[in-house]
């Protein structure tokens, strides 16, 4: 037995033989005593047929690259320059744009600081467990997020004023500063990283949208969970006072936050004018963050032994999965308002679209989660049952963590689909990122100038940058949680 | 040893003077139309070690899985530490808290460290504070002789080590009785001994145990009583000496001749 230290960052332990084999593979120089010339000869020109293929493909690649470069240089990119704000934020009122910048800054500080603190916590945790921990450097982060960064840089380069440059530079500086500061915080502060992130999310939403009733509800919920995690840490044990505090305090604080915010709510800054990439990303985040809990509930419900719950879940999942998203969106836009009684205000189009997206992604997520639940061996449940744990705790602490780990690839695939599916809200008259390519092409200045390829390629690069980053992050998460390891 | 039973088919006579911890009366279990258990009557006294043996499919595992309601019995009564097993969830939980169980395939939780595997139930079911639970877990790991593995994940341990962690986990709730369901059947031969040694020391410390096992050496050495089952029925019961030296029933003789 060799004592191969487990790397917390990697988390895969494959048994001694494989570990040794992998170690040997890692240590071996990739192409020992191979010169570039020899490599080319061995791999590209090792037979007559391969030589021909290499030459033909090489010529084709060079031709395509040259044409692409020619096009980039000769093409007129004015259509993007003129419409840059439309692509990024749609018809967001131009004198309210500061809201976007500032809410982004707050979000960056919150998430950046939280991530820095969590990374430090993970390192401490690994050290306590005697595991090796691989700190991610700034270079690692660059490697992980380069598609998004490159896309932001590309879009910024189309700006015709200095403001976006400054904004992006400030944002980058804030990322660096927040992550560094989060890392440097003392342990008791770092322990509350998640609460810090939650508060930042709420503040950022308030800056963006004002304090509307919806924000008040969200803030109340966030406060509930923040306090619940704090009290469960502080009041361990089963005596009556601890139990009472643990259960009552979060409710009291949550309700208080909701009441106060709801009372001071100035009319929310509505989202009728939202659009562009901002709306696309927002809709994706909403679809994921609300669809996920709902989907998990549906998956558990579908496995329930109570026929009513099971029946409802099956009906819902199969109905939503059985119709195209576009038909649900059209239904929400044109038919749903007719079903509302006259005295009740119909929610905005975009609100209805968000609800549809949430329900839609929940149905798909439910089936993915159900697959994961089935993959968890029965013995896991039995072992937990045998120790007297309640059914709810078994689900939450034993079955669900294993099920969710097993379905990360499928889940992220669903998220990526959702990112692209949000383009369908264009059909109900909401101009998101993709729609602005069509809108720009139809502007009098560009009409008939065949600028489609310009706008479509920029939009494609945008979707690709986010989708590819998600995909990379999913693979990283898989490796970190040791999927496939048992 | 006044009332040491000789070889007979009555599993209700407790060896020694302990009060009964487990009492099964007229227990039947059906899987569809297949009768897995037929009229099981059995009592297990405090500090007693009962080994259940028999050919595969004879209902041994089903028997002990009925005791903590991993299987629901169809007829008869099961009493654990004075609590009658019923359909009431609270009642079932209460019995499960009093009975530890060790499985053939360990069933450790792969996403939790060894320490977390052991502390999970005490913290979640009994609300024991984290520090206290971990202290107790380390004691138990000392007892099964692998304290150095506390921070590892189950996947990093050998089968024998995993099963010893599983034993420590079942002890963490301070159960009145531990049910062993073929604890060594999934182990490589060289790892069986370390698990059996752990079980022996538990037995010597006075833990009440029911073991379903194929380890005849263990049965001979540790058991107070050996129960032989075939076709869902208790065929023969006796002290190890009587049981292995002079089995009375033909079915038992046949079984022993096949495995010894």
Q: Which CATH number is A290's domain given?
A: 1.10.3720.10
Of B96, B128, B152, the CB nearest to A387: B96
From A380's Cα to the closest Cα of chain B, the distance in A is: 6
For the stretch B185-225, pLDDT in tens is 999 988 999 999 999 999 999 999 999 999 999 999 999 99
Whether residue B97 and residue A130 make contact (CB cut-off 8 A), yes or no, is no
Whole-angstrom Cα distance, residue B260 to residue B255? 9
Per-residue model confidence (pLDDT) at position A1: 41
Whether residue A385 and residue B96 make contact (CB cut-off 8 A), yes or no, is yes
Whether residue A236 and residue B70 make contact (CB cut-off 8 A), yes or no, is no
| Beta bridge mates, A298 | none
Query: Do residues A174 and A112 make contact, with C-beta atoms less than 8 angstroms apart?
Result: yes
From B125's Cα to the closest Cα of chain A, the distance in A is: 6
Most A CBs within 10 A among B67, B117, B121, hence the mutation to make, goes to: B121
Q: Beta B177-181 vs B99-102: how paired, if at all?
A: parallel
Per-residue model confidence (pLDDT) at position B12: 79
Domain range holding A20? Answer: 1-40
Per-residue model confidence (pLDDT) at position A336: 82
- Nearest residue in chain B measured CA to CA from A380: B107
Does A188 map to a domain? no
Q: Which residues of A touch B (CB under 8 A)?
A: 6, 13, 128-131, 236-238, 377, 379-380, 382-390, 393, 397-398, 401-402, 405, 482, 485-486
Does A457 map to a domain? yes
- Nearest residue in chain A measured CA to CA from B71: A382
Does A153 map to a domain? no
Does A470 map to a domain? yes
Whether residue B70 and residue A382 make contact (CB cut-off 8 A), yes or no, is yes
Write out chain A residues lying below 8 Å of B124, CB-based: 389, 393, 397
Does A336 map to a domain? yes
Does A438 map to a domain? yes
Whole-angstrom Cα distance, residue A360 to residue A418? 9
For the stretch B44-75, pLDDT in tens is 999 999 999 999 889 999 999 999 999 999 99
Of A13, A379, A398, the CB nearest to B155: A13
Of A380, A393, A485, the CB nearest to B155: A485
Whether residue B127 and residue A238 make contact (CB cut-off 8 A), yes or no, is yes
Phi and psi dihedrals of B117, rounded to 5?
A: -55, -40
Work out how many CB contacts closer than 8 A connect A with B.
84
Cβ burial of A290 (10 Å; 0-12, 13-18, 19+) is middle
Write out chain A residues lying below 8 Å of B128, CB-based: 237
Does B163 lie at the interface with A, CB-CB under 8 angstroms? no
Q: What 8-state DSSP symbol labels residue A396?
A: I
The segments of chain A whose pLDDT lies below 50 read 1-16, 19, 484, 486
Query: Do residues B97 and B175 make contact, with C-beta atoms less than 8 angstroms apart?
Result: yes
Does B129 lie at the interface with A, CB-CB under 8 angstroms? yes
Whether residue A486 and residue B96 make contact (CB cut-off 8 A), yes or no, is no
Q: What 8-state DSSP symbol labels residue A178?
A: H
Whether residue B170 and residue A387 make contact (CB cut-off 8 A), yes or no, is yes
Crossing angle of the two packed helices A452-481 and A138-156, in degrees rounded to 10:
160
Whole-angstrom Cα distance, residue A337 to residue A367? 30
Structural domain count, chain A: 2
Task: Return the higher-pLDDT residue of B90 and A264.
Answer: B90
Question: For residue B256, which of B55, B50, B56, B63 has the smallest C-alpha distance?
Answer: B55
Q: In sequence order, what are the residues at sequence separation of 6 or more whose Cβ sits closer than 8 angstroms to the Cβ of residue B178?
A: B99, B100, B101, B102, B167, B170, B171, B202, B207, B208, B209, B210
Write out chain B residues lying below 8 Å of A19, CB-based: none
From B10's Cα to the closest Cα of chain A, the distance in A is: 28
* A377: three-class secondary structure by DSSP: coil
Most A CBs within 10 A among B72, B80, B105, B109, hence the mutation to make, goes to: B109
Most A CBs within 10 A among B124, B186, B190, hence the mutation to make, goes to: B124
Per-residue model confidence (pLDDT) at position A21: 52
Does B72 lie at the interface with A, CB-CB under 8 angstroms? no
Whether residue B170 and residue A377 make contact (CB cut-off 8 A), yes or no, is no
Whether residue B109 and residue A398 make contact (CB cut-off 8 A), yes or no, is yes
Does A193 map to a domain? no
Whether residue B156 and residue A402 make contact (CB cut-off 8 A), yes or no, is no
Per-residue model confidence (pLDDT) at position A65: 94
Whole-angstrom Cα distance, residue B4 to residue A468? 73
From A260's Cα to the closest Cα of chain B, the distance in A is: 34
Whether residue A388 and residue B155 make contact (CB cut-off 8 A), yes or no, is no
Mean pLDDT in residue range B244-260: 88
Per-residue model confidence (pLDDT) at position A15: 45
Split at pLDDT 50, 70, 90, the class of B2 is very low
Does A364 map to a domain? yes
Q: In sequence order, what are the residues at sequence separation of 6 or more whose Cβ sits closer than 8 angstroms to the Cβ of residue B31?
A: none
């Amino acid at each position: 037995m060799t004592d191969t230290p487990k790397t917390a960052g990697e988390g895969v332990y494959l048994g001694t033989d494989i570990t040794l084999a992998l170690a040997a593979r890692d240590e071996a120089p990739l192409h020992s005593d191979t010169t570039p010339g020899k490599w080319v000869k061995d791999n590209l020109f090792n037979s007559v047929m391969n030589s021909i293929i290499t030459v033909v493909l090489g010529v084709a690649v060079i031709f395509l690259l040259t044409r692409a470069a020619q096009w980039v240089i000769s093409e007129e990119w004015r259509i993007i320059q003129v419409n840059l704000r439309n692509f990024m934020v749609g018809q967001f009122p131009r004198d309210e744009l500061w809201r976007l910048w500032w809410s982004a800054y707050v979000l960056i500080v919150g998430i950046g600081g939280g991530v820095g603190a969590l990374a430090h916590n993970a390192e401490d945790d690994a050290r306590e467990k005697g595991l090796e921990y691989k700190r991610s450097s700034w270079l690692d982060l660059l490697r992980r997020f380069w598609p998004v960064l490159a896309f932001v840089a590309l879009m910024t380069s189309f700006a015709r004023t200095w403001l976006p440059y400054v904004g992006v530079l400030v944002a980058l500086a804030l990322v660096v500063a927040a992550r560094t500061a989060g890392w440097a915080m003392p342990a008791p502060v770092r322990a509350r990283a998640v609460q810090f992130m939650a508060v930042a999310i709420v503040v950022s939403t308030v800056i963006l949208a004002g304090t509307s009733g919806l924000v008040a509800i969200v803030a109340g919920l966030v406060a509930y969970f923040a306090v619940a995690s704090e009290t469960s840490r502080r009041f361990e044990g089963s005596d009556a006072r601890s139990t009472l505090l643990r259960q009552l305090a979060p409710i009291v604080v949550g309700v208080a936050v909701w009441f106060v915010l709801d009372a001071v709510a100035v009319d929310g800054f509505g989202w009728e004018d939202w659009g562009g990439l901002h709306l696309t990303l927002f809709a994706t985040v909403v679809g994921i963050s609300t669809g996920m809990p709902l989907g998990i509930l549906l998956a558990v419900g579908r496995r329930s032994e109570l026929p009513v719950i099971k029946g409802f879940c099956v009906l819902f999942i199969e109905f939503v999965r059985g119709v195209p998203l576009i038909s649900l969106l059209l239904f929400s836009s044109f038919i749903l308002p007719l079903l509302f009684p006259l005295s009740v205000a119909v929610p905005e189009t975009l609100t209805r679209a968000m609800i549809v997206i949430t329900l839609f992604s929940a149905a798909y997520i439910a089936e993915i989660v159900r697959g994961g639940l089935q993959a968890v061996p029965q013995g896991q449940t039995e072992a937990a049952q045998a120790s007297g744990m309640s059914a709810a705790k078994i689900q939450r602490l034993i079955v669900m963590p294993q099920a969710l780990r097993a379905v990360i690839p499928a889940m992220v695939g669903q998220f990526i689909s959702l990112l692209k599916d949000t383009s369908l809200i264009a059909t109900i008259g909401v101009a998101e990122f993709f729609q602005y390519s069509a809108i720009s092409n139809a502007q009098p200045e560009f009409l008939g100038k065949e600028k489609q390829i310009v706008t479509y390629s920029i939009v494609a690069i945008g979707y690709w940058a986010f989708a590819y980053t998600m995909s990379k992050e999913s693979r990283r998460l898989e490796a970190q949680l040791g999927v496939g390891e048992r | 040893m006044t009332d040491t039973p000789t070889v007979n088919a009555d599993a209700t006579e407790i060896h020694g003077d302990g009060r009964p911890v487990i009492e099964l009366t007229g227990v039947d279990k059906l899987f569809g139309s297949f009768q897995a258990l037929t009229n099981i009557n059995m009592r297990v006294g405090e500090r007693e070690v009962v080994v259940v043996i028999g050919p595969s499919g004879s209902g041994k595992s089903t028997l002990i899985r009925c005791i903590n309601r991993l299987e629901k019995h169809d007829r008869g009564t099961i009493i654990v530490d004075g609590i009658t097993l019923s359909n009431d969830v609270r009642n079932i939980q209460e019995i499960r808290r009093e009975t530890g169980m060790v499985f053939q395939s360990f069933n450790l939780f792969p996403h939790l460290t060894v320490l977390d595997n052991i502390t999970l139930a005490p913290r979640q079911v009994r609300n024991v504070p984290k520090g206290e639970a971990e202290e107790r877990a380390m004691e138990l790991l000392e007892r099964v002789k692998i304290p150095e593995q506390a921070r590892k994940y189950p996947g990093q341990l050998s089968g024998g080590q995993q099963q010893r962690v599983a034993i420590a986990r079942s002890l963490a709730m301070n159960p009145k009785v531990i049910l062993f369901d073929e604890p060594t059947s999934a182990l490589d031969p060289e790892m069986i001994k370390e698990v059996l040694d752990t079980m022996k020391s538990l037995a010597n410390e006075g833990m009440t145990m029911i073991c379903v096992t194929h380890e005849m050496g263990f049965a001979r050495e540790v058991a107070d009583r050996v129960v032989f089952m075939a076709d869902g029925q208790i065929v023969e019961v006796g002290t190890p000496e009587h049981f292995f030296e002079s089995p009375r029933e033909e079915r038992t003789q046949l079984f022993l001749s096949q495995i010894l």
